[in-house]
């Protein structure tokens, strides 16, 4: 079978589905390819990840109709943030009052965002979702793109967009390299209850030999993030729930009181990616396929949404002026804007992650000094708070 569509998106994660909904408003026919089953997309399972959303991202999701499909009880306020170093109780405190907002942002489980994004995309008659589809070959020319699937089907489109994760196979198939950095660490995420109140404050705790994070959820529970060397993580994953509770409580030095596991445990390799190019002839990268951030700044999906908004705006402008929706100039404008928006923080995040992952004496002293100095510089803290709340 040979099908024709205006825009073909590979990847039905939140970024791919949100982009499809943004483009469908223009009357374009959108096809989304996904290798997973429809059941996995329509009923996404809990995967441990909580996504921090800025106010701007919430507005973008609202404009798409996605935010309205997320249950109110699944949305947690992110009021303040604290950064700890080593065993010290001193922390860099980023308060919501510095951002002129009632909170820095919001936290929503990844599977809730996935479900809401699918619900909206499925409501658009112009969006076709083809699951259990494996791309076999991609062919480009000046008129469009032809994608051959493993089942023998062929789909032609004016524009091909990859939204298939930071390990994007489509990116590789299109001959685009990426700067990838493997931190040699494994990240564990789960939900735990605790006896001490989190006060809707996020923690980023750069301890020696481990990194701990706490993302406050509604009630006396939080999303807990633990980053360790792979061999240490393997041992942690072998523990029974009771043993895990005791070990994690001790790792947090009882600062949250007794902690108790409420969910399944999930692990992910700590790998970042930044594509050498974000576009090609009639081709673009979005989401993690374009920029796969380190989680320390919690801005990965926020950057994904801002890139989607930028690309959708360029395509809408081209449609309104009856121009090519996949022209080189259009795609170059998207690339330049998204790179300008994301590259500085991507590089800064790497520098911070490397500094705070080091346990050498000079690094320890520099880390401690940075927190002390940062706490005393109000303009710096105000800038950080404003960025966390309104980054776009």
Three-state DSSP class for residue 129 = strand
By percentage, how much of the chain surpasses pLDDT 70? Answer: 84
Residue pLDDT, tens place only, 19-33: 999 999 888 999 999
pLDDT (tens digit per residue) in 62-90: 999 999 999 999 999 999 888 877 666 65
- pLDDT for 358 equals 55
Mean pLDDT for 352-371 is 54
pLDDT tens per residue, range 174-228:
999 999 999 899 999 999 999 999 999 998 888 878 889 999 999 999 999 999 9
The answer to whether 75 and 13 are in contact (CB under 8 A) is no
- Rounded to the nearest integer, the mean pLDDT of the chain is 88
Asked if residue 323 has pLDDT above 60, the reply is: yes
- Of residues 20 and 294, more confidence is placed in 20
The whole-number pLDDT of residue 381 equals 37
Return the higher-pLDDT residue of 11 and 92: 11
pLDDT band at 91 (very low <50, low <70, confident <90, very high): low
How confident is the model at residue 385, as a pLDDT?
Answer: 42
Q: What is the pLDDT, as a whole number, of residue 12?
A: 98
pLDDT at 368: 52
pLDDT score for 227: 94
The residues that bridge with 193 in the sheet, in sequence order, are: 221, 260
How far the first Cα of the chain sits from its last, in Å, is: 41
Query: Would you state the pLDDT for residue 348?
Result: 76
> Which residues are CB-neighbours of 97 under 8 A, at least 6 positions away?
none
pTM greater than 0.75 (yes/no):
yes
Q: Mean pLDDT across the stretch 287-314?
A: 90
Which pLDDT belongs to residue 387? 45
Of the candidate CATH numbers 3.40.1260.10, 1.10.10.10, 1.10.3720.10, 3.50.50.60, the domain formed by 2-43+116-180+272-357 belongs to 3.50.50.60
pLDDT at 380: 38
- Is residue 327 classed exposed, middle or buried when 0-12, 13-18 and 19+ CB atoms within 10 A define those classes? middle
Per-position DSSP letters for 308-320, written without gaps between them = HHHHHHHHHHHHH
Q: Is the dihedral of CA 369, 370, 375, 376 positive or negative?
A: positive
Q: Using the 8-state DSSP alphabet, how is residue 70 labeled?
A: S
pLDDT single digits (tens) 98-142: 456 678 899 999 999 999 999 999 999 999 999 999 999 999 988
Q: Which residue has the higher pLDDT, 94 or 245?
A: 245
Give buried/exposed letters for 366-382 (b at 16+ CB in 10 A, else e). Answer: ebeebbeeebeeeeebb
Neighbours of 37 (CB within 10 A): 11
Question: Is residue 363 pLDDT above 90, yes or no?
Answer: no
Paired residues of 180 in beta bridges? 273
pLDDT band with cut points at 50, 70 and 90 for residue 379? very low
* Per-residue pLDDT band at 383 (split at 50, 70, 90): very low
pLDDT at 354 over 90: no
Q: Is the pLDDT of residue 366 over 60?
A: no
Find the helix or strand (DSSP H, E) in which 108 lies.
Answer: strand 105-109
The domain segmentation of the chain, as residue ranges, is 2-43+116-180+272-357
């Amino acid at each position: 079978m040979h099908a024709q569509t205006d825009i073909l998106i590979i990847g039905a994660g939140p970024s791919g589905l949100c982009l499809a909904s943004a483009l469908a408003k223009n009357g374009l026919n959108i096809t989304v390819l996904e290798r997973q089953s429809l059941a996995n997309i329509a009923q996404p399972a809990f995967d441990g990840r909580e996504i921090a959303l800025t106010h701007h991202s919430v507005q973008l999701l609202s404009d798409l109709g996605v935010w309205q499909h997320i249950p109110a009880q699944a949305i947690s306020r992110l009021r303040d943030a604290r950064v700890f170093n080593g065993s010290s109780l001193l922390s860099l405190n980023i308060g919501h009052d510095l951002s002129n907002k009632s909170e820095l942002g919001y936290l929503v489980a990844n599977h809730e965002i996935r479900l809401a994004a699918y619900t909206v995309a499925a409501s658009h008659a112009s969006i076709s979702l083809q699951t259990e589809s494996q791309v076999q070959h991609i062919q480009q020319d000046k008129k469009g793109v032809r994608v051959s699937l493993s089942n023998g089907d062929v789909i032609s489109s004016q524009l091909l967009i990859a939204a298939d994760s930071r390990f994007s196979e489509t990116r590789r198939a299109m001959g685009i390299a990426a700067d990838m950095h493997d931190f040699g660490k494994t990240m564990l995420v789960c939900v735990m209850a605790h006896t001490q109140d989190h006060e809707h404050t996020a923690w980023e705790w750069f301890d020696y030999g481990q990194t701990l994070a706490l993302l406050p959820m509604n009630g006396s529970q939080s999303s807990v993030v633990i980053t360790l060397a792979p061999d240490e993580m393997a041992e942690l994953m072998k523990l029974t729930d009771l043993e895990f509770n005791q070990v994690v409580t001790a790792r947090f030095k009882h600062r949250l009181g007794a902690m108790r596991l409420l969910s399944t445990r999930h692990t992910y390799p700590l790998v970042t990616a930044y594509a050498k190019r974000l576009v090609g002839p009639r081709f673009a990268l979005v989401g993690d396929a374009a920029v796969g951030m380190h989680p320390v700044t919690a801005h990965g999906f926020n950057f994904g949404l801002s890139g989607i908004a930028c690309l959708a705006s360029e395509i809408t402008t081209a449609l309104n002026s009856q121009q090519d929706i996949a022209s080189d100039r259009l795609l170059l404008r998207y690339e330049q804007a998204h790179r300008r928006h994301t590259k500085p923080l991507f590089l800064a995040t790497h520098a911070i992650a490397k500094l705070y992952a080091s346990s050498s004496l000079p690094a320890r002293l520099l880390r401690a000094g940075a927190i002390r100095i940062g706490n005393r510089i109000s303009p710096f803290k105000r800038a950080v708070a404003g960025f966390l709340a309104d980054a776009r």
